[in-house]
Each structure stands twice: as structure tokens, then as C-alpha cells.
Amino acid sequence: MKRLGVDIAISKKININAMDENKFDQEQDDLNTQEFQERMNEALSSDMESDQEQVASMEADGQIAELKDKNLRLFAEFENFRKRTTREKLDLMKTASQDILSSLLPVLDDFDRAKQIVDQIGEPDPFAEGVLLVYDKLNNLLKSKGLEELESTNKEYDPELHEAVATFAAPTPDMKGKVIETLTKGYLLNDKLIRHAKVVVGA
């Protein structure tokens, strides 16, 4: 009877040990599963961080490319603005005196008529010489400012340069369509037309 009790005790102890071992195995499995899960989570977290970094890097690259493109466009616009401003300034400098010179053209016309009268007289005259002297000074001054007389007589009629006030029969066939006589001279200021020449055209 005593032996039986010992056997039962040993059997219980074995069962307890087996249960403890199963419990240990279960706990080990749980630990392994938890560790695996943690590692998986870490791996996933690392992958997510890597993906986020890649996305952030791609966004940064896109922003840099966009900024570079904007910078190039702004630079090109500034260059165009600078060139346009420089060109306008040069044009303004060339034609700044256009109003004044245009207002002097009638005076120059009067001097031209006076010079023609002096040339017709053909005799030495102090007054005539004085007129010619003033004419030359004025003419040279205006030329130095960029004023240029437009040659019209015997040239092909050009409506961009000439204003036809009359037509006459051409004295020769080759004068048809050409300027026979210039009534009022035309003028250029730094290669820009500031007054048309009034002319008679051969028909």
C-alpha cells in the first residue's frame, strides 16, 4: 500500500514535470513568436522608414528641379528685360533731340532757299557770305546730332520716304516712276525718318 502511494506520488511528479515542460515549451514558443513578431515589426518599420525616406528624397529632387527651372526662367526673363531696356535706352538717346531738330527743319528750309538765291546772284557779297557761313555752321551742327538729308531727286519714288504732291510727264522714259524734283527735303535722324520729302514724280 505504501509502495502504491509512492508510485502515485512519482506519477504525479512526472505529470507535473511534463506539465511544467509543456508550459516551458509553450512559453518558449510564445517568446519565439513574440521575438519573431518584434523582428517583423522592426523590419516593417525599417522598410516604411526607408520608403518614406525615398519618397521624401524624390519629393526633394522634384522641388529642386522645379526651383532650378523657375530660376532659369527668371534669369531668361531678366536677360530679356535687360536687353529690351538697353535697346530702348539707346533708341531714346538716338531720338531724344528729335522734337527739337524737327522744329528746326523749317529754319533749315529757309536757309536752303536763301542759299539758292545767293548761288543765283553769283557776285561776292558780304551779306551773302555771312548767310552761307551761318548756313554751314547750322548744317554741320545738325549733322553732328545725327541729322541726315534724304536724297530724293532722280531716285525711285518710295511712298515710305516720299510724299508725292504732283506728277508730271517724265522728260525721259527712264524717269518714269522717279522723283523729278524735290520741293521740300526729307530728313533722317540716326537712320530714322523724321520727315518725308515732298516731291514731284514722273509719270
For residue 2, is pLDDT > 50? no
For residue 77, is pLDDT > 70? yes
Contact 157, 164 (CB under 8 A): yes
Identify which has the larger pLDDT, 40 or 91: 91
Distance CA 166, CA 199 (A): 7
Q: What is the pLDDT of residues 134-143, one digit of tens each?
A: 888 888 888 8
171 pLDDT band (50/70/90 cuts)? Answer: confident
Identify which has the larger pLDDT, 200 or 19: 200
Could you tell me which residues are beta bridge partners of residue 164? Answer: 199
For residue 44, is pLDDT > 70? no
Distance CA 20, CA 14 (A): 10
Distance CA 171, CA 17 (A): 142
3-state secondary structure of 202: strand
pLDDT for 75:
86
Three-class HEC string of 130-176: HHHHHHHHHHHHHHHCCEEEECCCCCECCCCCEEEEEEECCCCHHHC
pLDDT for 16:
47
49 pLDDT band (50/70/90 cuts)? Answer: low
45 pLDDT band (50/70/90 cuts)? Answer: low
For residue 186, is pLDDT > 50? yes
Q: Give CA angle at 69 (67, 74), nearest 5°.
A: 90
12 HSE (CA, 13 A, CB side): 6
pLDDT for 43:
61
What class does CATH assign to 146-203? Answer: mainly beta
Contact 76, 68 (CB under 8 A): no
pTM: 0.52
Question: What mean pLDDT is predicted for residues 139-155?
Answer: 87
What is the phi/psi pair of residue 87, to 5°?
A: -65, -45
